[in-house]
Amino acid sequence: MPMFSSQERQSALMHCQQQIAAVAAASTKTEVIEKTKYAHGYLAAMAKIEAIDWAAYGQLAAGLNELHHEKLGLPPPGKD
């Protein structure tokens, strides 16, 4: 039996997306870095307690990495 209902899992996914949106809204490099660290931790915690599945975690984390690099003016991840 799943630990979280479908509605709870959907809510957790929405909260993860809100953490990524906070990175997108960050205006300084320091803010981008701080919000990215928090968002990565949040995503990992939600996956670890199985509020989101690991496939969703992988997709969200990859998108977060790309956004982080873009906001800091870095080349895309893996394209150094």
Q: What is the pLDDT of residues 41-74, one digit of tens each?
A: 999 999 999 999 999 999 999 999 999 999 999 9
What's the pTM? 0.89
Could you give the 3-state DSSP secondary structure of residue 56? Answer: helix
Q: What is the pLDDT of residue 79?
A: 72
Query: Taking Cα atoms as reference points, which of 58, 55, 49 lies closest to residue 2?
Result: 49
Residue 2 pLDDT class (50, 70, 90 cuts):
low
